[in-house]
Chains A and B, each alone.
Chain A
Amino acid sequence: MKLLMKAALAAGLAMSATSAIAQVKIGALYPFSGGLALLGDESFRGLELATEERNAAGGLNGKKLEIVKGDAVDPNQAVGEARRLTSVDKVAVVFGTYSSSLSLAATQVTELAGIPYFELGAISDPITERGFKNLFRSNPTAKDFAASMVDGIAEAIAPALGVDAKSLKVAIIHEDSLYGQTVAGYQSARAKEKGVNVVETLPYSAKTVDLTPVILRLKSAGVDVVLQTAYQNDAVLFFRQAKEQGFKPKAVMGAGGGYSLRETAQAVGYENIEGALDVDFTQYKTNPAAAPGIGDFVTKYKAKYGMEPRSGHSLANYVGAKVFFDAMASAKDLSAPAIRESVLKIDMPIGSTASGWGMKFNDAGQNTRVKPFLMQWQGGELVTVFPANAAVAKMKTGLGQN
């Protein structure tokens, strides 16, 4: 009897020992402090929710996922934290990163260490253009944003106006740092490819205190559609001064940034930003028919954090993390080549995830089945208006309430 108990005890100990081992450590590399912390944390919440959901459903083939956080405040620290995660904490994979410069730095470390890196939110194209084998990105890139904007002119704006797309005079204006330069560069290339009539391309400094000369140029050129890539200050200036100068384009479209932020809309005034279009990560006023599970996500988010999601970043991270967890589960082991093989096998059509994106990865590790939606400010909310199956409201033309 005594022997039996001893054996049972030993077995129990052994079992608890194995269950302690039966964990998969995953790294979470985001800016948790410093200037990028707000949206870094918002991004992390998506990963956190996906992890909890996975663990509640039995984990990764019976093994629990355990998040190890790395705080990447700047590129230097991103490198340091990536080294710590891969060599000290010995994580199986790393998720990240929200900011492109952090991602570019951290992924070099993981690539050298042979640890898979799943990028869920950084949009700079070159991240997946460096020939890395163990880097995969689920979110759309700057090029995808630019393509959605330019294509939106012919596919959404021209039909709404009831005119031929070729007859619309388009202007590209952008702030002249890396963000604006990159997006505007892709826009120009796409516009050329699609035969869009671009009449003005005007870069300006985001620190400018006056955009009236830009607006007067657009006005003199008789511009119908303005594509702007802007931070907050310049987006506010543009809307205010366009109104003051009596410039009334048929459509204005922004590439995320300042256009997606509520504070921008408040500073401009809801009645003045009414009708402004925006291309960004999927936001929450989207038809669930095109983004199955989006409502579920918001419910879970509110239950855990007690507030509405602060931006679309959490959703983008949640969607990407779920897909990569599936790929890890179906890989034959957690070695880098096995995970790569498994990720490249993913084949999900557009409209099958909570952000509406499909998932199909090319050789460079980039998801090629993403086309960001067109959203519009209507009544103080950013609502999805295009494509039709994702729309929750009809697209308006013109700018400001008449």
Chain B
Amino acid sequence: MEVFLQLLINGIMLGSMYAIISVGLTLIFGVVRVVNFAHGELLMVGMYAVYLLFLKFGIHPYIAALPVVVLLFLIGVLIQRFIIQPLLNADEHIQIFATVGLSTALVNLALMVFGADLYSVNAPDVRRSLEFGSFRVLIGQIVMLGSAIALVIGLHAFMQKTTLGRAIRATAQNRNAALLMGVKVDRIYVISFGLGAACVGLASALISPLFPATPTVGTYFVLTAFVVVVLGGMRSMYGAFFGAMIIGLVDSLSAYYIAPDLKEVVYFAIFILILIFKPTGLFGLGRGTE
């Protein structure tokens, strides 16, 4: 029983890590309608940025979050403006190839600059474990959970309450109608991609103390992030959050009770079942909206 509860705690913490990575992907996919295969590499860029700020200036990763979020926003804006925008009316396959190409280019750039070794931010305060009775949880994990919840609620409020948020939702629902209503669709796309990338910036600052940076670190997370996004119904922030929690829990429990090397099999099996019985995802809005 004790182990089971510890596994539940770990699963929720793992889920919050997946959630915070998936939120940005959901935003980009939901609004710009681009499957961003370079998402994991944006995370990698963010983690190296956090590492460099730590190494050169001794900045704590949580403080580094601010400049890194801004940096990633700008990178997102540039990617949308100069890579995706020119291809907006092209076939979706072309857009996918563009993001895959970007992903490969970024991985190799990191290999050239940093080499294949891993680098780690040293933040012992974040890695301290708090003990509640016989249960343990890291301070960094609690911060991650809190940030994931705040980010999802904050983004949701932003989408519902602000003019920009409404314009983004309008663009997501119907690009042409939004255009006719006077929404500057191109600019909305640029901002949305920037916001999605900025979310990854936040994720990289929170993950850096817990996980070392390598050129391929993005690939460790991104497949799971795609599963989470589809499971959550493609465009729903809350859907992504709960999808991530489900994957986190399944990951943690199946690795213990079944086998660590079979956990992917288990959650992909669940994923396939959900797609068969509820093709729009758990929180999807129904056919035709995705």
Residue with the greatest number of chain A CB neighbours at <10 A, chosen from B7, B17, B111, B212: B212
Q: Check A232–B214 contact: CB distance below 8 A.
A: yes
Q: Give the distance to chain A from B2, nearest Cβ to Cβ, in Å.
A: 9
Determine if A315 is an interface residue (Cβ-Cβ < 8 Å).
Answer: no
State which of A204, A213, A263, A267 has its C-beta within 8 Å of the C-beta of B10: A213
Q: How far is the CA of A343 from the CA of B260 in the complex (A)?
A: 46
Contact residues in A for B127 (Cβ distance below 8 Å): 240, 244
Q: Check B220–A217 contact: CB distance below 8 A.
A: no
Q: How far is the CA of A35 from the CA of B119 in the complex (A)?
A: 17
Q: Give the distance to chain B from A32, nearest Cβ to Cβ, in Å.
A: 16
Determine if B129 is an interface residue (Cβ-Cβ < 8 Å).
Answer: yes
Determine if B179 is an interface residue (Cβ-Cβ < 8 Å).
Answer: no
Determine if B118 is an interface residue (Cβ-Cβ < 8 Å).
Answer: yes
Determine if B125 is an interface residue (Cβ-Cβ < 8 Å).
Answer: no
Q: How far is the CA of A12 from the CA of B217 in the complex (A)?
A: 64
Task: Summarize B's interface: helix, strand, loop or mixed.
Answer: helix
Contact residues in B for A18 (Cβ distance below 8 Å): none
Determine if B6 is an interface residue (Cβ-Cβ < 8 Å).
Answer: yes
State which of A35, A214, A217, A267 has its C-beta within 8 Å of the C-beta of B118: A267
Determine if B221 is an interface residue (Cβ-Cβ < 8 Å).
Answer: yes
Among residues of A, the one whose C-beta sits closest to the C-beta of B257 is A213
Q: Check B122–A269 contact: CB distance below 8 A.
A: yes
Among residues of A, the one whose C-beta sits closest to the C-beta of B128 is A244
Given contacts A245-B136, A263-B117, contact A209 B17 (CB under 8 A): yes
Among residues of B, the one whose C-beta sits closest to the C-beta of A246 is B136
Residues of B218-253 whose CB lies within 8 A of A: 219-221, 224, 251-253
Q: Check A236–B117 contact: CB distance below 8 A.
A: no
Q: Give the distance to chain B from A74, nearest Cβ to Cβ, in Å.
A: 16
Residue with the greatest number of chain B CB neighbours at <10 A, chosen from A212, A232, A233, A269: A212
Size category of the B interface is 35 or more
Given contacts A35-B116, A245-B136, contact A214 B17 (CB under 8 A): no
Q: Check A202–B120 contact: CB distance below 8 A.
A: no
Q: Check B261–A207 contact: CB distance below 8 A.
A: no
Q: Check A266–B7 contact: CB distance below 8 A.
A: no
State which of A208, A264, A266 has its C-beta within 8 Å of the C-beta of B260: A208
Q: Check B119–A263 contact: CB distance below 8 A.
A: yes
Determine if B42 is an interface residue (Cβ-Cβ < 8 Å).
Answer: no
Q: How far is the CA of A209 from the CA of B221 in the complex (A)?
A: 8
Q: Check A209–B211 contact: CB distance below 8 A.
A: yes
Contact residues in A for B259 (Cβ distance below 8 Å): 202-203
**Residues of chain B whose beta carbon lies under 8 Å from any beta carbon of chain A:** 3, 6-7, 10, 14, 17, 111, 115-120, 122, 127, 129, 136, 138, 211-212, 214, 217, 219-221, 224, 251-253, 255-256, 259-261, 263-264
**Residues of chain A whose beta carbon lies under 8 Å from any beta carbon of chain B:** 35, 38, 176, 202-205, 207-214, 216-217, 220, 232-233, 236-237, 240, 244-246, 261, 263-264, 266-267, 269
Name 17 interchain pairs, CB-CB below 8 A, sorted by A: A203-B261, A208-B220, A209-B14, A210-B14, A211-B260, A213-B7, A213-B260, A214-B260, A217-B256, A236-B212, A244-B129, A244-B138, A245-B136, A261-B117, A264-B118, A267-B212, A269-B122
